[in-house]
Amino acid sequence: MKVKFLHIGFLLLLTCLTASAQSPRYFISASNAAPLATPEDLRYQVELLTDSLCTGRATGTVGSVRSQTVIGQLFKSAGLLPLEGSYYRGFRTTAGAKAHNVVGILPGSGDRYVIVGAHYDHIGTLSGALYPGADSNASGVSSLLTLARMFQHLKSLGKTYAHSIIFVAFDAKEQSLGGSFHLWNEIAGGRLTNPRTGQTITPNEIDRMVNIDQVGGTEAPLNKNRPDFLMMLSDEKTGRRDALLIANMSPEVSLDVAFDYYGSKDFTRVFYRSISDQKPFLDNGIPSVMFTSGITLRNNKTDDNTDSLNYEILRRRVLAIFYYLVRVI
């Protein structure tokens, strides 16, 4: 009998070893998605949005519609799901212009949500002069699109997320933050539905909002001779600044990081509380974060073009934001 049990035990061990050899286990790391962030892809996406066919992406223009279409198609190719069957959610600005947010979701296993957004609208074409808006804010939208692909890639490898991620390209930021206020009003009014579960997305299910606004510039560094920098503006208690510091320890990131706007309390408060798309969420008690590389002399000028950005540094900034998000989701 003892010999029989020893024989069975040997067979079970052999079976386990064979199964392990046939189906090797591996650890899914955030670094598995890092190769998807490339300077070439980031530049290509900026080029699409700054192309003359997009006419500067002013809200309500033909160029804006072309930009929306590009973003929606790239959301689809990244594997994001549309809400209520469409990526495009229309509204009217306070000035009466027809606008559209572009929204896609990567469903998680729980009932909590993180919103990651970047505005795509810009000044447009004035007196025949095209304002491309490469840094403001094609750089943020390019980052948003890359992040969507990175998270979808990890999911395809078997990574699971407790939180669902709502990716949003906001319209009408230049018109009193129209897009972000509209998204918040949709959530507050019970007009947003999870396409996977069919459940209404409610305000108390929003864990945090992360806004990416101008992250391609290098001409206004925090410290001399450090063009590789990034500012994260947030509430000290809820912003999870530790997550960015840990992300920044990666050798492929290693940026000059600050948690204020060039050391100024007043400007930090203005930029964080008033003038970008995290404002409606902050106003309603949602922990929010803004990532930016600040304003340069090119902003809102005709030379804010594709060639003015540093795409290798933009890649490192995207990785920093990605590793931050992985830790807070």
- Domain layout of the chain by residue ranges: 36-328
* Residue 15 confidence (pLDDT): 36
Q: What are phi and psi of 24, to 5 degrees?
A: -60, 140
Angle formed at CA 273 by CA 91 and CA 256, multiple of 5 degrees: 115
| 21 token code pair | 């050899």
Query: What are the Cα distances from residue 8, in Å, to 5, 75, 189, 211?
Result: 5, 53, 63, 59
Distance CA 129, CA 236 (A): 42
Q: For residue 281, how far is the Cα from the chain centroid?
A: 16
pLDDT tens for the chain, residues 1 to 329: 444 433 434 333 433 433 444 444 556 889 999 999 999 999 999 999 999 999 999 999 999 999 999 999 999 999 999 999 999 999 999 999 999 999 999 999 999 999 999 999 999 999 999 999 999 999 999 999 999 999 999 999 999 999 999 999 999 999 999 999 999 999 999 999 999 999 999 999 999 999 999 999 999 999 999 999 999 999 999 999 999 999 999 999 999 999 999 999 999 999 999 999 999 999 999 999 999 999 999 999 999 999 999 999 999 999 999 999 999 99
Distance CA 9, CA 17 (A): 12
Distance CA 89, CA 206 (A): 19
Distance CA 319, CA 248 (A): 9
Helix (H, G, I), strand (E, B), or coil: what is residue 225? coil
* Residue 2 confidence (pLDDT): 41
Range 36-328 classified under CATH 3.40.630.10: yes
* Residue 7 confidence (pLDDT): 43
Which residue matches tokens 């709502």? 166
| Helix ranges restricted to H, the chain | 2-22, 39-50, 62-77, 139-156, 178-188, 241-248, 265-273, 279-283, 311-328
Helix (H, G, I), strand (E, B), or coil: what is residue 90? strand
Q: What secondary structure letter does DSSP report for 137?
A: I
* Residue 26 confidence (pLDDT): 52
Distance CA 58, CA 122 (A): 5
Distance CA 323, CA 325 (A): 5
